[in-house]
Amino acid sequence: MKIYADNAATTPMSRAALDAMIPCLEKLYGNPSSLYAIGQEAKEVLERAREEIAAVIGAQPREITFTSGGSEADNQALLSAAALGQRRGKRHIISTAFEHHAVLHTLKKLEQEGFEVTLLPVHENGIVDVDELAAAIRPDTCLVSVMYANNEIGTIQPIREIGALCRSRGVLFHTDAVQAMGHLPIDVNAEQIDMLSASAHKFHGPKGVGFLYARRGVALTNVIEGGAQERGKRAGTENVPGIAAMAAALRESEANRERDAAHTAAIRDRLIAALAEIPHSALNGDAARRLPGNVNFCFEGIEGESLLLLLDDRGISASSGSACTSGSLDPSHVLLAIGRPHDVAHGSLRLSLGADVTEEEADYIARSVAEVVAYLRSFSPVWRDLTAGKTPFLL
């Protein structure tokens, strides 16, 4: 059996996305800035894509800026909000401890430039407490950035409540919706979102393309200087094939969203129940408020990379937050943020399911994980000490 269970890392392109992309590569190769016919046709494709994407999230087309992906959108959102804050003497930013590095590293850079950053805790369930956010907002707070759903543990944040709070306190609200877009219902007006980042390759579009939504009146700062594309806010000849494919992928994801989410969540819960049977294991993140396809567990006494390699041998593609998989000495900052000790965080496994997953596949995954975990424990000195009572079990 071959099962791709790493859809949070990236997704395969859909037929609809490919069908939208290929004509742009073959025939509509014009530059949208050119005045002749094939240039203007490409421009039409670009603007239609903008309208379609805006419609999915309840935005106006002019509020959508195309970027090279989620990382660029995050960078631009934060740098723009910081520049706006700076102008009004507001240099305090609130975010969370478990954001993607595209946000955390940009915040580090802003700190070096004199901004003050408060990272809210995300607690054991991986969800921000809105009361804690309310208490953290100061007169000089210029931005709140909280991700829509976490990329490792899939927990969904109280975006609507955060949006209402920020609006009432007059603070800009950005959300990194890279993992949520196409998988959860998003309405920037109802949820009072001022800025939002998304990336096509997480919803069956191509890699290297994404968008930033910025509410009318929120002035963007250029990250890429040059030509006047994207109303002068993002230079560079537009990635027309990628953008057309992104729009097609998003439209299709949105059309199938409710059906796919219901199916995927049911399989997810079946898999979570099966994996919870493994002794000394624990689900990471809230069991209910999580992305439909996200399963994330820690297994005590084993290390994640060896688990991944042996699952790969069985045809299962997954990921882990262990230090050895990232090449750093620390395990995932997300698992540490929800309070998992280092020892346990090294033994983590993320399975992010696609909408085509079957019950049979989930059962095969559960069986394979149970077997591999038992095998790795059979020669783990950590497991030996735990079972001998020399060190206490943490899970």
Partner 1 sequence: MALYSEKVMDHFRNPRNVGVIEDANAVGQVGNAKCGDIMKMYLKIEDGIIQDVKFETFGCGSAIASSSMATELIKGKPVSEAMKLTNKAVTEALDGLPAHKLHCSVLAEEAIQAALEDYRSRGGEI
Which residues are annotated as catalytic? 324
For 318, phi and psi rounded to 5 degrees?
-145, -175
Residue matched to tokens 């027309």? 240
DSSP assignments along 20-40, one per residue:
HHHHHHHT----TT--SHHHH
Tell me the closest approach of the beta carbon of residue 236 to partner 1, in angstroms: 31
Residue 343: which of ligand PLP, partner 1, Zn ion, none does it interact with, CB under 5 to 8 A by kind?
partner 1
- Tokens representing 216 are 């009318």
Nearer to partner 1, 358 or 391 (CB): 391
324 interacts with Zn ion by CB under 5 A: yes
Residue 89: which of ligand PLP, partner 1, Zn ion, none does it interact with, CB under 5 to 8 A by kind?
none
281 interacts with ligand PLP by CB under 6 A: no
Nearer to ligand PLP, 128 or 178 (CB): 178
**Cβ–Cβ under 8 Å, residues 348 and 153:** no
Q: Which of 151, 322, 325, 332 binds ligand PLP (CB under 6 A)?
A: 151
Count of residues touching partner 1 (by CB under 8 A): 25
Q: How far is CA 49 from CA 42, 56, 66, 195, 274, in A?
A: 11, 11, 10, 19, 42
Nearer to partner 1, 75 or 306 (CB): 306
Residue 41 pairs in a beta bridge with none
**Cβ–Cβ under 8 Å, residues 350 and 319:** yes
336 interacts with Zn ion by CB under 5 A: no
Q: Which of 379, 388, 389, 392 binds partner 1 (CB under 8 A)?
A: 379
371 interacts with partner 1 by CB under 8 A: no
Q: Which of 30, 32, 69, 292 binds ligand PLP (CB under 6 A)?
A: 69
Edge-to-edge strands, sheet with 172-176: 64-67, 210-214, 195-199, 172-176, 141-145, 92-96, 116-120
Q: Which of 102, 323, 338, 373 binds partner 1 (CB under 8 A)?
A: 323
Nearer to partner 1, 16 or 307 (CB): 307
Residue 301: which of ligand PLP, Zn ion, partner 1, none does it interact with, CB under 5 to 8 A by kind?
partner 1
230 interacts with ligand PLP by CB under 6 A: no
The string over 58-73, giving b where at least 16 C-beta atoms fall within 10 Å of a residue's C-beta and e elsewhere, is ebeeebbbbbbbbbbb
Residue 382: which of ligand PLP, Zn ion, partner 1, none does it interact with, CB under 5 to 8 A by kind?
partner 1
- CA–CA gap between residue 251 and residue 294 (Å, rounded): 22
- CA–CA gap between residue 321 and residue 103 (Å, rounded): 18
Residues that bind Zn ion (CB under 5 A): 324
